[in-house]
Amino acid sequence: MGPRNLTIAKALTEGIAQEMRADSRVFVMGEDIGEYGGIFDSTKGLLEEFGPKRVRDTPISETAFIGAAVGAAMSGMRPIAELMFVDFFGVCMDAIYNLAAKNTYFSGGNFNVPMVLMTATGSGYGDAGQHSQSLYATFAHLPGLKVVVPSNAHDAKGFMIAAIRDDNPVLYMFHKGLQGLGWMWNVATAIADVPEEPYALPFGEVGIRREGGDVTIVALGLMVHRALEAAEALEAEGIDAEVIDLRTLVPLDRKGVLHSVGKTGRLLVVDEDYTSYGVTAEIIASVVERDLTILKAPPRRIAYPDIPIPFSRPMEQYALPDADRIAQAARELVESGRQVGALA
Amino acid sequence: MTQIRVPDGLWDTAKIPEAVLSQWLYLDGATVTEGSVVAVVMAEKTEFEIQAPADGTLRITVPADGVVAPGGVIGKID
Amino acid sequence: MEIPRQRLLWMYETMVRARYYEETMARVYLEGKTPKFDIAEGPVPGEMHLSAGQEPCAAGVCAHLRPTDTVTATHRPHHIAIAKGVDLKRMTAEIFGKKSGLSGGRGGHMHLFDPAVNFSCSGIIAEGGGPAVGAALAATMRGTDDVAVSYIGDGGVNQGGFHESVNLAALWKLPVIFVVEDNAWAISVPKSRSASIARISDRARAYGIPGVHVAENDTVAIYQAAGEAVERARKGEGPTLIEIETFRFMGHFEGDPQAYRPSDEVEKLQQKDPLPRFKELVIQGGNMTEGEAQEIEARAKENVDDAFAFARESAYPEPEEALEKVFV
């Protein structure tokens, strides 16, 4: 038997289907998730197999159906709701952060909210500022919500199954450019060998996507792949980069990051989400507040500038972190680290 | 050796004369299993999955972004 | 209501211009996207929501508006922008992402803003209601008789923001006209599976305001319903909800396979194409000759062609301009 390669879209849908077969409490609702199969192919084939009672197209009423997912979860079901683009969170944030994220705590643990909210992130295909955001930190900032960001198909399936089985609300953020959609660019390295049988992957463990001793590049989602491209370019110059995939933001594997930085002494964090108050700051803080002595150079970050995402291609591409900029920052980091070392 | 073909009649060639092989799910030389989806063809914005017709080693002849037609050979299984 | 001849001609020209604009955009959008459809490629990347078939909703309503009246449109905004008098060249340049565009390329097709005619739109469903209420409130507080029109789709009316806005406008008796463009589809979900009642205009009763339903994409009926609503609003008599049964000839976005849609639906709708229907009506009424119609059509096409040429010839912004205009 050869490998069984799937796209993220296929893998996460397979995870949903297997849990739906195994557990009658699991159902899906959202906009265009029935006959259309999800705008980003996240529910393809589910309506055909499970019918309209368990695969429910909703009106454009996110406040209602995400609130309903909270209520159904508290009433013993295992709902999966889809928010088509994460950018659309504005209308329904209350259901997400004042209900889903807080009801367990408010009820002293007497209620739990075992729901999955899946949503599409990502920019770089000309969809402008209300359809391109990543917003990872916005959600990871809110206590009570687990946040998962798969970067490849193997994680996508294992995380989806784990999210459905989790007794807490899980925000499952998939990247449009990693889905394997036929109608936009995609990233071949997101395709992975996916076991056919159901499996759940634990949250809170970073993935070492590439081992190296000179610099640690921490990334998530699409940026993992951009970091890998950068690492390849750096290898040709004799710089050995380690690429760490955060995989889940809540829970966050701070130890895993620290362990890698302990080895390399240099930290570069890359994020497609906005720079300020973001994932990059959290990762850097997690390292420097634990142990400043392991650093050979001040940590660096590359993230989206603090601007709404522009439409026009030259501006859009300028603002989006890419492999060249990651490689350049890593190069400078290694260089400055050497200087600091020399001074010491 | 078994050829991998784009099946006939997947889309209306009068409306959409040219389709594109949008992605291979395996690298050239990979071991594949009969029935696995090995490639995806896009006719405008509609996707069609192409399965491996046999077990064996994948040999890609039409790379990603190559133009394909119904009945056309896109690779083979050795 | 007798429609003045000049208005009839303006409406015809507006509708022709909007139609030709969308047909041109559909072609241009596919440049660089064939044979492989990649949404990121071509002179116009990203999603593209076109409005062919919905022209009467724009022309019939905007015929009553002046530049100082406000319009908030949807993610499918071109026909409305054209009817409101948005600068066609700069709008097209914006959609191409050029520096000469309305927003210097920052917004694109779902984010068109033209302060000269008080036009804006948003890519988020049902987001225009609040801003329209605010514009109407501002007009009232400043003591003018300007009005605001909020366009929304049959999908959007199931958002909380729509209900809140209608209630607020009704409560404060503000000069707002809520125009529901019912093209029967919220992407792939039909209206019958989105709303619990058949007619959205019936919801007006719940807010104590008039609700008007216009069937069959009828340009004259839209003009008349909007005329009454605008007149009421200008007189301080409060908002109106107008629901227009209109047609979506194209996909939700360009490239939409539309597998969810009955295969003969568009063909059937096209047999009721509002453009030839309205043209014939104007000619029959003795308000336009065939020759005048041809002149109008030629002029509309020239305007559109000029706008596309302007957009193509315009330069792209410098990449670093991305960092400007976050704050004034």
pLDDT at A263 over 60: yes
Omega into C35 within 30° of 0, i.e. cis? yes
**pLDDT at residue A274 greater than cutoff 90:** yes
Rounded Cα–Cα distance for residues A150 and A9 (Å): 11
* Residue entry with tokens 């295992």: A78
pLDDT > 60? residue A344: no
Nearest-by-CA chain A residue for B38: A5
CA separation for the pair A32, A146 (Å, rounded): 25
A337 band by pLDDT with thresholds 50, 70 and 90: low
Measure the CA angle with vertex A234, ends A231 and A240; round to 5°. 75
Span A299-324, pLDDT tens digits: 999 999 999 999 999 999 999 999 99
The confidence band for B18, taking pLDDT boundaries of 50, 70 and 90, is confident
pLDDT given at position A333: 96
- Distant-in-sequence, close-in-space partners of A107: CB < 8 Å, separation ≥ 6: none
C119, C81 in Cβ contact below 8 A?
yes
Query: With contacts defined as CB-CB under 8 Å, which chain A residues touch B30?
Result: 2-3, 5
Contact (CB<8Å) B22/A3: no
Tokens at A110, concatenated:
């007497």
Instruction: Average the pLDDT over A101-112 and give the result.
Output: 97
For the segment A81-95, what is each residue's pLDDT rounded down to a tens digit? 999 999 999 999 999
What pLDDT is stored for residue A339 in this prediction? 60
The span from the CA of C239 to the CA of A273, in Å, is 41
- Alpha carbon distance, N-terminus to C-terminus of chain A: 55
**Chain C interface disruption, residue of B6, B20, B45, most C CBs within 10 A:** B45
In the DSSP assignment, the letter for residue C114 is B
Nearest one of A221, A185, A23, A7 to A116, comparing CA atoms: A23
CA distance A137 to A278: 5
pLDDT over 60 at A112, yes or no: yes
Q: Determine whether C31 is exposed, middle or buried from the number of CB atoms within 10 Å of its CB (0-12, 13-18, 19+).
A: exposed
Question: Given a cut of 60, is residue B76 above it in pLDDT?
Answer: yes
**Strand residue runs (E) in A68-204:** 78-85, 116-121, 146-148, 170-175, 192-193
CB A210 within 8 A of CB A242: yes
Decide if A258 contacts A246 (C-beta within 8 A): no
- Confidence band for A1, pLDDT divided at 50, 70 and 90: low
Q: Which helix (H) or strand (E) holds C6?
A: helix C5-30
Cα separation, A5 vs A154, in Å, equals 9
- Is 70 exceeded by the pLDDT of residue A343? no
Residue C292, classified by CB atoms within 10 Å of its CB into exposed (0-12), middle (13-18) or buried (19+), is: middle
Closest-CA residue in chain C for B45?
C255
pLDDT in tens, A213-254: 999 999 999 999 999 999 999 999 999 999 999 999 999 999
List of residues 6+ apart from C145 with CB closer than 8 A: C139, C175, C234, C235, C236
Residue B13's pLDDT is what?
86
Residues of A (266-305) whose Cβ lies below 8 Å from B:
none
Q: Which residues, 6+ apart, have CB-to-CB distance to C196 below 8 Å?
A: none
What per-residue confidence (pLDDT) applies to C215? 97
Choose the closest CB to C187 out of A31, A90, A319. Answer: A31
pLDDT of residue A2 exceeding 90, the answer is: no
Q: Are strands B37-43 and B46-51 parallel, antiparallel or unpaired?
A: antiparallel
Q: Mean of the pLDDT values across residues A38-51?
A: 97
Kindly tell me if the per-residue pLDDT of A107 is higher than 50: yes
Q: How far is C124 from chain A (nearest CA, A)?
A: 7
What CA–CA distance (Å, rounded) separates B31 from C313? 51
Q: Judge contact between C39 and A122, C-beta under 8 A.
A: no
- Among residues 8-27 of chain B, which lie with CB inside 8 Å of chain A? 22-23, 25-26
Average pLDDT, chain C: 97
Q: Look up the pTM and report it.
A: 0.96
Q: What are phi and psi of C66, to 5 degrees?
A: -115, 165
Strands (E), chain A: 5-6, 26-30, 55-57, 78-85, 116-121, 146-148, 170-175, 192-193, 207-210, 215-219, 241-245, 248-250, 267-274, 300-304
How many interface pairs between B and C have CB atoms less than 8 angstroms apart?
Answer: 20
Contacts of A170 (CB under 8 A, 6+ apart): A115, A116, A117, A145, A146, A147, A148, A162, A163
pLDDT digits (tens, 9 = 90+) for C297-313: 999 999 999 999 999 99
Confidence check: pLDDT of C231 > 70? yes
Distance from CA of A79 to the nearest CA of B (A): 28
Q: Please determine, for residue A338, whether its predicted confidence score (pLDDT) is greater than 80.
A: no
Indicate the pLDDT class of residue A272, thresholds 50, 70 and 90.
Answer: very high
Q: Give the whole-angstrom CA distance, residue A95 versus residue A89.
A: 10
